[in-house]
Amino acid sequence: MGIRKVAVLGAGLMGHGIAQVAAHMAKYEVSLIDVKQEFLDNGMKMIRGSLQKFLEKGKISEEEMDKILGRIHPTVDLREAVVDADLIIEAVPESVDIKKTVLMEVYEVAKKDAVITSNTSSVSITVLASFIRRPERFCGMHFFNPPQLMSLVEVVRGAKTSDETVKVVVEAAKKMGKEPIVVKKDSPGFIVNRVLVPVLNEAVYLVWEEVADPNEIDEAVRLGLNWPMGPLRLLDYVGLDTSLAMMKVFQKELGDVKFQPCPLLEQMVKAGLLGRKSGKGFYDWKKR
């Protein structure tokens, strides 16, 4: 099947970036949906800010920027967003209950041949697919933050995902300028986060144990492992609450002590120190 229209569910940290990439690189018509107009307004503001940076760097022209924005259609009307969408990408918070509610509502109004995907970083694709009556047309489509810059997309099979669905999603990811990697088994954390999360958690333990300051830990990892940014700064970008939620899912599903969240991480989330999106985490983003 050919993809012409994409619906992105959620205009937050990941959703707005996915919508931008779909409209910019693939030139898809994109419906961007959220539950409140203010969330949509903020998502569109972030898209404009990101495109402005591309414009300032000479990567796009003002005419191209206007065309990209013209292909993105924000709405709070779920039916309007998904009724004629060929590809639906769910990017709502990492809560099984929230995702279940959204996916069940989407299924009722989506086309029968629509492919439905989730950008989840930790929830089982097989579990999510069980909430709709055509699980063979469901799979994971996990983008990385920020979607505008990161090239990887993990395409994750659920237990009943068809080969045709995987093929459609792989081709869509390529059209968006991404490098898709097919994860053939639905395992918590898929590939990257299964490796990354214990490293992030260990970096938090280094702060908790006062081994070094956050900026020193980040600089050591950046220089020693040739990472583009340190683990604590990355946690601030991803969101401490999102990372904590992932660790708890991994701990429950895999039963491994290495996924036991550091007490400092739990304390910071309780205090609302979530990273960039709250203005403060391991770094003060209000000063930047």
The catalytically annotated residue of 31, 90, 119, 142 is: 142
d(CA 127, CA 119): 14
Helix (H, G, I), strand (E, B), or coil: what is residue 153?
strand
Residue 219 is a catalytic residue = no
Longest dimension (CA), the chain: 55
Three-class HEC string of 238-274: HCHHHHHHHHHHHHHHHCCHHHCCCHHHHHHHHCCCC
Residue 216 is a catalytic residue = no
Nearest Cα to Cα of residue 155 among 125, 114, 112: 125
CB atoms within 10 A of CB 119: 24
The catalytically annotated residue of 50, 122, 193, 243 is: 193
The catalytically annotated residue of 16, 118, 154, 278 is: 154
d(CA 27, CA 97): 32
Angle (CA) 146-150-153 rounded to 5° is 105
Task: Strand 115-118: give its sheet, edge to edge.
Answer: 72-75, 29-33, 5-9, 87-90, 115-118, 138-143, 152-156, 179-183
Nearest Cα to Cα of residue 250 among 123, 144, 127: 123
Residue 119 is a catalytic residue = no
Helix (H, G, I), strand (E, B), or coil: what is residue 115?
strand
Residue 171 is a catalytic residue = no
Q: What DSSP designation does 284 have? A: B
**Can you name the residues that pair with 140 across neighbouring β-strands?**
118, 156
The catalytically annotated residue of 121, 124, 201, 278 is: 121
Angle (CA) 161-143-192 rounded to 5° is 85
| Active site (catalytic) residues | 121, 142, 154, 193
